[in-house]
Amino acid sequence: MKCVDDFRLRLGGRELVPIMIGGMGVDISTAELALEAARLGGIGHISDAMIKTVSDRHYDTKFVSGKQKRYKHNVANVDKSEVKFDLADVAEATRLHVQSTMEAKRGDGLIFINCMEKLTMNAPKETLRVRLTAAMDAGIDGITLAAGLHLGSFSLIEDHPRFKDVKLGIIVSSLRALQLFLRKSARTGRLPDYVVVEGPLAGGHLGFDPADWMNHDLHVIAAEILDWLRQEKLAIPVIPAGGIFTGTDASGYLEAGAAAVQVATRFTVAKECGLPAEVQQEYFKAGEDDIEVNSISPTGYPMRMLKNSPAIGSGIRPNCEAYGYLLDSSGRCAYIDAYYRQVAAHPGQKNIQVWDKTCLCTHMRNFDCWTCGHYTYRLKDTSRRLADGSYQLLTAEHIFRDYQFSKDGSIALPD
Ligand X SMILES: Cc1cc2nc3c(=O)[nH]c(=O)nc-3n(C[C@H](O)[C@H](O)[C@H](O)COP(=O)(O)O)c2cc1C
CB nearer to ligand X: give 102 or 270: 270
When the beta carbons of 157 and 244 are compared against ligand X, the nearer one is 244
- The Cα–Cα gap between 208 and 200 comes to 7
Helix (H, G, I), strand (E, B) or coil at 186: helix
Strand 142-146 versus strand 110-116 pairing type: parallel
For ligand X, give the closer residue by CB, 22 or 331. 22
Q: Peptide bond before 90: cis, by omega within 30 degrees of 0? A: no
Task: Return the beta strands (E) in 84-141 as ranges.
Answer: 110-116
Rounded alpha-carbon distances, angstroms, from residue 395 to 271, 310, 400:
5, 27, 9
- List residues near ligand X by CB under 6 A: 22-25, 28, 47, 49, 114, 116, 146-147, 171, 198, 201-204, 241-244, 262-265, 268, 371-373, 375
Instruction: Decide if 24 contacts 269 (C-beta within 8 A).
Output: no
Are 228 and 181 in contact by the 8 Å Cβ rule? The answer is: no
- For strands 303-306 and 291-294, give the pairing: antiparallel
> Of 244, 242, 256, which is closest to residue 197 (Cα–Cα)?
242
Q: How far is the CB of 406 from ligand X (least distance, A)?
A: 15
Q: Which is nearer to ligand X, 147 or 177 (CB)?
A: 147
Write down the least CB distance from residue 209 to ligand X, Å: 18
Give yes or no for a contact between 396 and 270, defined as CB atoms under 8 angstroms apart. Answer: yes
- DSSP one-letter code for 18: S
Shortest Å distance, C-beta 76 to ligand X? 30
Least separation in angstroms between residue 74's CB and ligand X is: 27
| 147/229 with CB nearer ligand X | 147
Q: Is 238 helix (H, G, I), strand (E, B) or coil?
A: strand
Q: Based on CB atoms, which residue is closest to ligand X, 7 or 370?
A: 370
For the bound state, the minimum distance from the C-beta of residue 262 to ligand X, rounded and expressed in Å, comes to 5
Q: In the complex, what is the shortest distance from the CB of residue 371 to ligand X, in angstroms, rounded to a whole number? A: 5
**What letter does residue 115 receive in the DSSP assignment?**
E
**Smallest distance from ligand X to CB 146, Å:** 3
H/E segment holding residue 38: helix 31-39
What one-letter code names the amino acid at 67?
Answer: K
Nearer to ligand X, 84 or 150 (CB): 150
